[in-house]
Amino acid sequence: MFDVIAMRLIAGKFLCETTAPEAFRALEEDAMRNDVDAYLRRIGRRLACTAGGYAYYMAFERIGTDERTEVKRLFAEIKHELRPMVNFLKFVMQALRNEEAPSPGERIDYPTILGAVTAHPQLVDELRNFAALGRDFTAADSTPRAMLDKVFGQVVKSGYLVQLDRDREVYAFTGKLDFLLEVIEFLMANEKIVEDAPDDQPDQLRML
């Protein structure tokens, strides 16, 4: 299990109860967590956990001059995902008529979402708006099913959603969502990040 965990973390994966239950539970043990962290520190990285405890991931052990380029790249990638994900969370809340945003591990029934879209034209308009976010969210045709498939597929590709049951079309949010919420809070508190940050980056940047 150690090798599997280390390889997935080095590959940039988030290990959570939804995507990798065995690895996640193994990391809940102090011995495994300490062993993995010690291994990662040998390559200048460390084991990190999201604030809510929903996922483990690999982070920089320290942020210095050599790491700044990679930090900027990672932040640019995350910021690129922010608007689509915020829109998706809002869309899901509207479709399910929930006042609270989804949380890691929460399941989504695709047919229920599609049914809501079919019954409410305003949700169809919301789906069409995703096309403005770029080619990745633009469906081949304008049917609700095609547009919804495209949006779900991109969210899955980004690692925030995983399909649990292909036949029943059941999905679940992953622990990476917890990480995204951390980033949103950080961005709200720091308007000028990364680009204007000094070499001694604030502790929050160590999440990357």
- Selected from 2.30.29, 3.30.9, 1.10.10, 1.10.260, the CATH number assigned to the domain covering 70-178 reads 1.10.10
Residue 55 has pLDDT above 80, yes or no: yes
pLDDT band at 48 (very low <50, low <70, confident <90, very high): very high
Q: CA 166 to CA 111: how far, in whole Å?
A: 12
Domain boundaries, the chain: 2-60, 70-178
pLDDT per residue as tens digits for the range 65-117: 766 777 777 777 777 788 899 999 999 999 999 999 899 999 999 999 999 99
**Helix/strand/coil percentages in the chain, nearest 5:** 55, 10, 30
Direct distance between the N- and C-terminal alpha carbons of the chain, in angstroms, rounded to an integer: 24
Q: State the virtual CA torsion across 102, 103, 108, 114 in degrees, nearest 10.
A: 20
